[in-house]
Structure formats: structure tokens, C-alpha cells
């Protein structure tokens, strides 16, 4: 039976890089049925809603989703969609590729970001003219689920070292958020100890200093939601920008894949966007659905194109999205 893949291009270069990723998937011998849905700024302008109920339902009912980017409505689209796939972990690999100008070419880190709570649980109140509050939420159950995923991830050799003995680092701010990040830290370290996985820890501010100084000291990094957002974006800056990085929002029996980049309004519509992040997101989708060999083929083709060209403008080349996509398909 064919798998149903929801395809949400969204706004800006989402309309260019998602079709590129679909082209790559269609070039493989996998039996996917693609179903399109709409979300983002343009839909909100037309209908008043950034995320129409049909799109939410489509994603919820699909086997997996490929998402592009949304503009001003990004949070209104992506946060509910993460819920639609019941995602508890956001997987964000940050790897410097050969041939790409990177500040720290030795960077090869995978962030496993908690994807449901922290400040994103988002209970906010305007208590007076002067005062607003936000209730940050941390549960042992969500922390445990993330940690169990991290332990399996490492045990399966999916960390950057590919070594089942490789441990992980938990980044947090439990010296200040003693009760909430204290709970997160303790739970994650406890699960690691139960599973016999090596785990060390780092305060998130110290991590932000040490990652640029020497990224090779980190592999798999487990973080609360906002820490994962910021620290993985920092890693993106070390490997040469967001144009390259894919991500996976993994749930219990559904998942959503998206490039880490945004809509890039400066180049949108010109057909020159770098499709790498979207194509690598498609590779993660393949692996998630069990097409591990196909995922690896895509990754290898992308790496070969990154080092030999053609290249889009963000990487110093002048190739179009279509030319880069064709080159990737060629090498599959």
C-alpha cells in the first residue's frame, strides 16, 4: 500500500524548495501518494486563517508531511502542525558539508529538542497594565519520552559518530530554573543511567560559548524546547547558514519534516533558492518511513552536489533551484 505524504509548500521559497524535494522523492522507487495542503501568509490573506482545518486534518491523517516555510504566520502554522503529528521530539542535525564555506567545518551535531512544552506550552496572562506572565511547563513524562528517544537514537548508531556507545549531552539552565529545568535534567540523566547510555551535561549558556570554540566536543545534544531552538540555530551559523539544515518533528505514528530556513522573501519567486535543506528533510522522511537505503542515497547525492556543484547563490554559485535539483536527481 502506498504511503500518503502531505505536502505543504507554504510561503516564499517554500513554493520552490518543496517541489524540488518532491521531485527527488518521485525519482526513487517508492510508492508515495502526494496530497497538497495550504498554509501560511497567503492563505491567511485569502481566508483569514493561516492554517485551514482541512490542512490540519490532512497532516493529522497522513503518514508523514513535508512542509516548506511560512512567513509572518510561521508560529501559527508550525506550532499547531507539530501538534497535529503529535510530535514529542524535533530532530535537528547540524553538519558542515565538504565544499561549503563553514565557520567551523568540523561541526557535526544532532540536537534532539523537546517539542511540546517549556515556554512553548504558552500559557500567558496580562495581569495588569504593567505586568505579563508566561507559565513555563516541564513534565517528567515529556522529559522521559525525549530521553528514551535519545537513548534509542544513540543505541541505533544514529548519532554523528555512528557509534552505539556514543553518549549524549543534556543542555539546560537548572542553576536558575531549579525546579523546571532541574526536573528536566534529572529525568534525562536518570533515563540515560537506566539505559546504560553515557550522558554528560552543560549549562546552556556555557554550551553557547563552547560550541563555537570547539564543536567537535559535542555529538548528540538533548535540550528543552527553547534551548533547542536557539542552540541549534547557533550551530546552523557555524556550518554556513540555515540554507542547508533539515529537521524532523517526530511523533508516535506520524511526523513532519521541514527545512530549518524560513521564507527568504529577498529571493522568493526567483527560482534560485537552495533546495538542500528541503531535500535533506525528504531524506529524513524516507528514513522515518523505513526507506533507509533510499534516504542514504539522497544524502549521498546531495553531498556530492554540495562538493562538486552546481551551487545556488547562497553558496557562491549561480545555479537555479531546478539545476541543483536536477543534479541531485542525476546522482541518485
Ligand X SMILES: CC(C)[C@H](C(=O)O)[C@@H](O)C(=O)O
Please list the active-site residues: 120, 173, 205, 229, 233
Q: Does 209 bind ligand X (CB under 6 A)?
A: no
286 binds, among ligand X, a second copy, none (CB under 5 to 8 A by kind): none
Pick the closest to residue 56 from 27, 70, 32, 76 (CA basis).
76
How many chain residues touch ligand X (CB under 6 A)? Answer: 8
Residues 210-229 binding ligand X (CB under 6 A) are 229
Q: What is the grid cell recorded at 318?
A: 549561480
Tell me whether residue 122 or residue 196 sits nearer to a second copy (CB atom). Answer: 122
Q: Which stretch binds a second copy (CB under 8 A): 44-52, 59-67, 201-209, 270-278?
A: 201-209
From the list 117, 109, 84, the residue with the least C-alpha distance to 232 is 109
Residue 300 DSSP one-character state: H
- Which stretches of 192-281 are assigned E, i.e. beta strand? 199-203, 220-223, 246-251, 255-259
If binding is defined by CB under 8 A, does position 177 make contact with a second copy? yes
Residue 37 neighbours by CB distance under 10 Å: 22
Residue pair 225/115 in contact by the 8 Å Cβ criterion: yes
One of 175, 209, 296, 307 touching ligand X (CB under 6 A): 175
Contact of 60 with 81, CB cutoff 8 Å: no
Find the helix or strand (DSSP H, E) in which 19 lies. Answer: helix 14-26
Contacts of 205 (CB under 8 A, 6+ apart): 173
Q: Which does 78 bind (CB under 5 to 8 A by kind): a second copy, ligand X, none?
A: ligand X
Interior angle at CA 186, CA 185 and CA 189, nearest 5: 85
Binding segment for a second copy among 44-52, 125-133, 268-276, 278-286 (CB under 8 A)?
Answer: 125-133
For residue 3, the partner it binds in ligand X, a second copy, none, with Cβ less than 5 to 8 A by kind, is none
**313 touches a second copy (CB under 8 A):** no
- Comparison of 281 and 312: residue with beta carbon closer to ligand X: 281
Q: How far are the Cα atoms of 13, 46, 209, 319 from residue 234, in angstroms, in the given order?
A: 22, 35, 10, 27
- Name the strand (E) or helix (H) holding 192: helix 180-195
209 binds, among a second copy, ligand X, none (CB under 5 to 8 A by kind): a second copy
What is the arrangement of strands in the sheet containing 3-10, beginning at the earlier edge strand? 32-37, 3-10, 64-69, 255-259, 246-251, 87-95, 108-114, 220-223, 168-172, 199-203
Can you tell me the distance from the alpha carbon of 90 to that of 321, in angstroms, rounded to the nearest whole number?
Answer: 26
**Comparison of 133 and 175: residue with beta carbon closer to ligand X:** 175
DSSP β-bridge partners for residue 221: 111, 169
Footprint of ligand X on 64-103 (CB under 6 A): 74-75, 78-79
The interface with a second copy within residues 226-285 (CB under 8 A) comprises 226, 229-231, 233-234, 236-238, 240-242
Q: Report, in Å, the least distance between residue 72 CB and a second copy.
A: 9
Residues 144-173, one symbol each (x = binds a second copy by CB under 8 A, - = not), give: -----------------------------x
CB of 90 or CB of 320, closer to ligand X: 90
Q: Which grid cell is 64?
A: 508523514
Residue in 124, 205, 270, 308 binding ligand X, rule: CB under 6 A: 205
Find the part of the chain contacting a second copy (CB under 8 A) among 124-132, 155-163, 263-271, 286-294.
Answer: 124-132
Residues that bind ligand X (CB under 6 A): 74-75, 78-79, 175-176, 205, 229
Residues of the shown chain interacting with a second copy in the complex, contacts defined by CB under 8 A: 74-75, 79, 103-104, 119-120, 122, 124-126, 129-141, 173, 175-180, 182-183, 204-206, 208-213, 226, 229-231, 233-234, 236-238, 240-242
Amino acid at each position: 500500500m502506498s504511503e500518503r505524504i502531505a505536502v505543504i509548500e507554504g510561503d516564499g521559497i517554500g513554493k520552490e524548495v518543496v517541489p524540488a524535494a518532491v521531485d527527488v522523492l518521485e525519482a526513487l522507487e517508492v510508492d508515495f501518494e502526494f496530497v497538497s495542503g495550504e498554509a501560511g501568509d497567503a492563505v491567511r490573506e485569502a481566508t483569514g486563517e493561516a492554517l485551514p482545518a482541512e490542512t490540519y486534518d490532512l497532516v493529522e491523517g497522513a503518514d508523514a508531511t513535508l512542509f516548506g516555510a511560512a512567513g509572518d504566520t510561521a508560529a501559527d502554522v508550525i506550532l499547531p502542525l507539530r501538534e497535529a503529528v503529535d510530535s514529542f521530539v524535533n530532530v535537528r542535525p547540524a553538519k558542515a558539508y565538504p565544499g561549503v564555506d563553514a565557520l567551523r567545518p568540523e561541526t557535526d551535531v544532532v540536537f534532539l529538542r523537546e517539542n511540546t512544552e517549556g515556554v512553548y506550552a504558552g500559557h500567558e496572562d496580562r495581569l495588569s497594565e504593567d505586568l505579563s506572565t508566561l507559565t513555563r511547563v516541564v513534565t517528567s513524562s515529556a522529559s522521559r519520552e525525549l530521553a528514551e528517544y535519545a537513548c534509542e537514537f544513540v543505541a541505533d548508531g544514529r548519532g554523528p559518530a555512528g557509534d552505539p556507545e556514543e553518549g549524549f549531552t543534556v543542555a539546560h539552565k537548572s542553576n536558575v530554573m531549579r525546579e523546571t529545568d532541574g526536573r528536566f535534567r534529572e529525568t534525562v540523566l536518570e533515563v540515560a543511567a537506566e539505559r546504560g547510555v553515557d550522558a554528560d551535561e552543560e549549562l546552556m549558556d556555557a554550551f553557547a560559548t563552547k560550541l563555537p570554540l570547539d564543536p567537535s566536543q559535542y555529538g548528540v545534544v538533548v535540550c528543552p524546547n527553547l534551548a533547542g531552538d536557539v542552540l541549534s540555530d547557533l550551530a546552523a551559523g557555524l556550518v554556513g547558514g540555515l540554507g542547508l539544515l533539515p529537521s524532523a518533528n517526530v511523533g508516535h505514528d506520524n511526523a513532519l519534516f521541514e527545512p530549518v530556513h524560513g521564507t527568504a522573501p529577498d529571493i522568493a519567486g526567483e527560482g534560485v533558492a537552495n533546495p538542500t535543506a528541503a531535500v535533506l528533510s525528504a531524506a529524513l522522511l524516507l528514513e522515518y518511513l523505513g526507506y533507509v537505503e533510499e534516504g542514504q542515497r539522497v544524502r549521498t547525492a546531495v553531498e556530492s552536489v554540495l562538493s562538486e556543484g552546481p551551487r545556488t547563490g547562497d553558496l557562491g554559485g549561480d545555479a537555479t533551484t531546478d539545476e541543483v535539483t536536477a543534479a541531485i536527481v542525476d546522482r541518485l
